[in-house]
Amino acid sequence: MARVGVLGAGTWGTALARMLALNGHETAMWSPRPRDIDALAKTHYHKHLEGVKIPETILLTKDAREACAEKDLIVFALPSVAIRQTAQTVKPYLRDGQILVSVAKGMEADTLLTMTGIINDVLEEGRQERFHYAALSGPTHAEEVARDLPSAIVAACREDLVARTVQDVFMNSSMRVYRSSDLLGVELCGALKNVIAIAAGACVGMGFGDNTRAALVTRGMAEIKRLGLKMGCRPETFDGLAGIGDMIVTSTSLHSRNMRAGMLVGQGMEPKKAVESIGMVVEGINALPAALELADRYQVELPITFAVDAVVNGGQDPRRVVLDLMMRDKKAEF
């Protein structure tokens, strides 16, 4: 049995805390928003996970120290924009040797750091302690994991022993966990596939067909892989669960906030209003600044990513942008 602290009480944090508790682990859950903990403590249900009861064995706490102290493993299950502040909040309560697992998907705009990079940047500044960093990523919507539907995910860490530990803690009969040493590649896929999912949703919103979405997802993965290889990531990462697997589910499922936001934009809604209509974080929009900066730094073409930016931040007509993509110079596929 492991002692686990889950930071974040959204749908993903709640689904994972439930799964960990049912796996027999001593599980505590904390949120930077106390009202989220109050709501769960009162009903033991999450408003966005209909019909899923939260085990009463989970310690629901508003005390960050209680969620982190003496834990073997800490799970960061928050929106990407909240990771740095949360790491600052819990920094005094963490101890040397803990495994810190990010399940957030994004990149920080000004530093270009991944989620584990942000946590490392905060926690190890001016301290002697050292932590083990891992990411858990793949085609796993919280709504389905919370219902124990068969799913698969990747535990990524540069240290194989740590990846094996994370694999052991999370794996059960409905969650198959694979290992990877390509931490950067897994996190890069998790961040940038959300941008492509916005484009896939926009294509649906504009009334385009399956051909369009299949082409978009395939070429979107190709441009993410081009960037990843320039950054030193392993090529097989992009062909696996964290890569094409997560891309497929995020670009085709109505559980996907990114795809749903894209659908609204494709139907003519302003991007800002589309995000407000979703009512939850749309990570693809948050990832755009870092994606554009990385493309410039590594001199890699990301035509679909730039097209999404042109619509979301440049106010361009989605149909015009699609036409521009279709009329790009002729190329070989590989």
**Would you say residue 127 has pLDDT above 90?**
no
In the chain, the percentage of residues whose pLDDT exceeds 70 is 99
pLDDT band for 124, please (50, 70, 90 cuts). confident
Mean pLDDT confidence for 93-115: 96
Using the 8-state DSSP alphabet, how is residue 24 labeled?
T
Say what the pLDDT of residue 141 is.
95
**With respect to CATH, is domain 3-181 assigned 3.40.50.720?**
yes
pLDDT band for 63, please (50, 70, 90 cuts). very high
How far is Cα 135 from Cα 155, in angstroms, rounded to an integer?
Answer: 6
3-181 and 185-326: identical CATH topology: no
Among 290, 286, 291, 205, residue whose Cα is nearest residue 251: 205
Mean pLDDT confidence for 66-90: 96
Q: How far, CA to CA in Å, does 73 sit from each of 69, 131, 173, 189? A: 10, 10, 21, 23
**Would you say residue 126 has pLDDT above 90?**
no
Tens digits of per-residue pLDDT, 210-240? 999 999 999 999 999 999 999 999 999 999 9
Say what the pLDDT of residue 108 is.
95
Sketch the domain layout of the chain as residue ranges: 3-181, 185-326
User: Which residues are 133's β-sheet partners?
Assistant: 100
Tens digits of per-residue pLDDT, 4-15? 999 999 999 999
CATH classification of 185-326, choosing from 3.30.559.10, 1.10.1040.10, 3.40.190.10, 3.40.47.40?
Answer: 1.10.1040.10
Using the 8-state DSSP alphabet, how is residue 69 labeled?
T
Catalytic residue among 193, 272, 330, 331: 193
Active site residue 193: yes
Say what the pLDDT of residue 125 is.
76
Tens digits of per-residue pLDDT, 165-217? 999 999 999 999 999 999 999 999 999 999 999 999 999 999 999 999 999 99
Please, is 11 exposed, middle or buried when counting C-beta atoms within 10 Å of its C-beta (0-12, 13-18, 19+)?
A: buried
Average pLDDT, the chain: 96
pTM of the model: 0.95
Tens digits of per-residue pLDDT, 22-36? 999 999 999 999 999
pLDDT band for 280, please (50, 70, 90 cuts). confident
> Would you list the DSSP string of 99-122?
EEEE----B-TTT--BHHHHHHHH
Say what the pLDDT of residue 61 is.
98
